[in-house]
């Protein structure tokens, strides 16, 4: 049991998001793109996205996608004038 917990901790420390967690919840669209790029190298990307969607994560990059209130969105606009419509949602199956 102690060995398996040690392994889990060691593997978690290797996740790309552990190196730069601030990118995954950034306001800057360029930093969010960097986070998505880091996810592409991650071995647990698919499981991470599935779990984040199940938990309806309120915000952030999870499994290589940007989530907003539990749904995948295509991107975040930079600061400035707000859009008239809500965020553009993307079908996770697409
Ligand atoms: S896929 Fe998930 S666990 Fe992997 S780097 Fe991205 S956010 Fe982290």
Q: Which two tokens stand for residue 74?
A: 């295509």
Q: How far is the CA of 35 from the centre of ligand 1 (A)?
A: 9
Q: How far is the CA of 44 from the centre of ligand 1 (A)?
A: 7
- How many helices (H) and strands (E) would you count in the chain? 4, 3
CA distance 53 to 15: 19
Torsion of CA 22, 20, 62, 51, to 10 degrees: -110
- H helices of the chain, in order, are 2-13, 16-19, 29-40, 45-55
Taking only the tens of pLDDT, the chain with its 94 residues reads: 566 777 767 777 889 999 999 999 999 999 999 999 999 999 999 999 999 999 999 999 999 999 999 999 987 766 666 666 666 667 666 5
Q: Atom 7 of ligand 1 has which residue's CA nearest to it? A: 62
Residue 85: the pLDDT is 63
pTM over 0.85: no
Residue 11: the pLDDT is 76
Q: Atom 8 of ligand 1 has which residue's CA nearest to it? A: 17
Which atom of ligand 1 has the smallest separation from the CA of 60?
Answer: 7
Residue 42: the pLDDT is 94
Residue 45: partners with Cβ closer than 8 Å, 6 or more residues away:
39, 63, 64
Q: Indicate left, alpha or beta for 56 from its phi (over 0: left) and psi (-120 to 50: alpha).
A: left
Can you give the residue ranges of every domain in the chain? 2-73
């Amino acid at each position: 049991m102690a060995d398996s917990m040690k392994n889990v901790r060691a593997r978690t420390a290797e996740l790309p998001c552990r190196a730069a967690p601030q990118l995954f919840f950034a306001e800057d669209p360029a930093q969010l793109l960097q986070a998505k790029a880091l996810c592409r190298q991650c071995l647990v990307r698919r499981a991470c996205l599935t779990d984040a969607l199940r938990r309806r994560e309120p915000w952030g990059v999870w499994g290589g996608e940007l989530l907003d209130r539990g749904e995948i969105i295509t991107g975040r606009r930079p600061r400035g004038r707000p859009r008239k419509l809500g965020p553009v949602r993307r079908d996770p199956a697409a």
